[in-house]
Structure 1
Amino acid sequence: MNPSLAGLSVLLADDHAMVRMGFRLLLEGAGATVLGEAESGEQALRLYDELRPDVLTMDVSMPGIGGLAALERLRAHHPAARVLMLSAHHDAVIPVRALKAGAAGYLCKRCLPQELIQAVRLVGQDRRYLDPELAQQVALTQLSGAAHPAQALTDKEFTVFLQLAQGRSVNEVASDFHLSASTVGTHLYHIKQKLNASNAAELAVIAMRAGLIEA
């Protein structure tokens, strides 16, 4: 057995059971102990409080509040939490947001198995890890400040944008994020102004073209 993750405890958060099973087999094969599995951001937060893993691996796109909002909430309550965010997409917008929100690492789920092991190992050592294929794209985005129009959104607006683009209603978003419907409506107004969109369908198209959500 490859002992590179020996002594490391991990919590897996992904809404696809097959993905979680694959990650569990891979990480346990490298010596890690998988303490639990979550299928939503809300469940990941509850299990983190209960289990206190060394590393949380969390998918960006999950039902409910999703991975990015869960990351923000987790870091607010546990500033030392070590989180490796994962995504099925190769865009630069979400990695920049995730790293800004306190993620220790970011990896595309299309990576080689050994890359996941390496990323978990480094994050477990309190070091940073960024998918090599994304590193240059992220660096250029941060330097130029001009990538996707969604870069112009504030952190809260970006979170609301992702939720609405996935078809959730203003009231659902308000309930999930403990906001008033009027506050979410104000965010929506600013989002549509900044992205030059007139309705939720156009927001979904913008998000899909940027690879922020799956078609």
Structure 2
Amino acid sequence: MNGKARIVIADDHVVLRVGLRSFLEEQETLPIEVVGEAGDGHQAIALVERTRPDLLLLDLSMEGLGGLETIIELRRRESRVPILVLTQHAESVILRRALEAGANGYILKSARGEELVSALRAVARGGTYIDPTLAGTLVSRALGDAQPASEDEAYAGLTPREQQVLKLVAEGLSNKEIAVALDVAVKTVMAHRANLMDKLGIRNRSKLIRFAMRMGLITDQEQL
């Protein structure tokens, strides 16, 4: 990487993107040029393919195409852009999924500014970076010492839209009815449904309903 690091920022909060851009472009230790901003995964993919940045700074919880799905799609398209996840999710299961999907780094939004710059530098140069508060958990899992992810962690790993679809499926709505309720295409509902079931490791609707009940999304009465 020569000269300025060319970065695309993807986050569905405009104020956060503006603040990040201002902060990053003021850095002297790592000259940065923000070449694009995206509010969802589809925009992020288009920007990456058009601008060929040195790094994608990516949030996970975005409406539409979420962060995990964006990583998977970019890698499916054989994009080699380094990806640094910037998120509020400190759950180990989400960290693991992001890395398995193809992310090169993972840092929490609560990190200090200098930590973010260090993460950007490491990932932009072809390395990896894991938020120090999560690195111990990752090592423990690699050694087999950590406990399996809880159901709460698994639920937290779903995107907001997947959580909506889960609730509506558990309430008994068909894919077509969910599509109408959310004002999206039936194929989109089917994709969200497949993604959330894969993330939860659930293969049938009855188990999905029981999971939703344990999460407090529905009650026994709603299934009568």
Corresponding residue for 1:146? 147
For the residues of structure 2 that align with 1:185 and 1:119, how far apart are their CA atoms?
Answer: 29
Q: Secondary structure of 2:210's match?
A: coil
For the residues of structure 2 that align with 1:104 and 1:61, how far apart are their CA atoms?
Answer: 18
Unaligned runs of at least 5 residues, structure 1: 206-215
Deviation, 1:42, is 1.3
Corresponding residue for 1:190? 203
Deviation, 1:146, is 3.0
Deviation, 1:204, is 7.2
Corresponding residue for 2:222? none
Corresponding residue for 1:42? 42
Paired residue total: 195
Conservation of the 8 A alpha-carbon contact between 2:161 and 2:192: no
Corresponding residue for 2:172? none
2:103 is equivalent to residue 103 of structure 1: yes
For the residues of structure 1 that align with 2:94 and 2:196, how far apart are their CA atoms?
Answer: 23
2:8 is equivalent to residue 11 of structure 1: yes
Q: Name the TM-score, length of structure 1 as normaliser.
A: 0.75
For the residues of structure 1 that align with 2:206 and 2:107, how far apart are their CA atoms?
Answer: 31
Deviation, 1:176, is 3.2
Q: 1:175 aligns with which of 176, 187, 202?
A: 187
Q: Name the TM-score, length of structure 2 as normaliser.
A: 0.73
2:17 is equivalent to residue 28 of structure 1: no
Deviation, 1:192, is 6.7
In structure 2, what residue type is equivalent to 1:42? H
For the residues of structure 1 that align with 2:214 and 2:102, how far apart are their CA atoms?
Answer: 30
Q: Secondary structure of 1:81's match?
A: coil
For the residues of structure 2 that align with 1:204 and 1:35, how far apart are their CA atoms?
Answer: 43
For the residues of structure 1 that align with 2:55 and 2:192, how far apart are their CA atoms?
Answer: 33
2:93 is equivalent to residue 93 of structure 1: yes
Deviation, 1:180, is 9.8
Q: Secondary structure of 1:190's match?
A: coil
For the residues of structure 2 that align with 1:101 and 1:186, how far apart are their CA atoms?
Answer: 16
- Quickly say closer, same or farther: Cα 1:49–1:117, change in 2 above 3 A: same
Percentage of matched positions with identical amino acids: 32
Q: Secondary structure of 2:8's match?
A: strand
Rg comparison, structure with higher value: 2
- Quickly say closer, same or farther: Cα 1:115–1:123, change in 2 above 3 A: same
Unaligned runs of at least 5 residues, structure 2: 170-174, 218-224
Deviation, 1:128, is 0.5
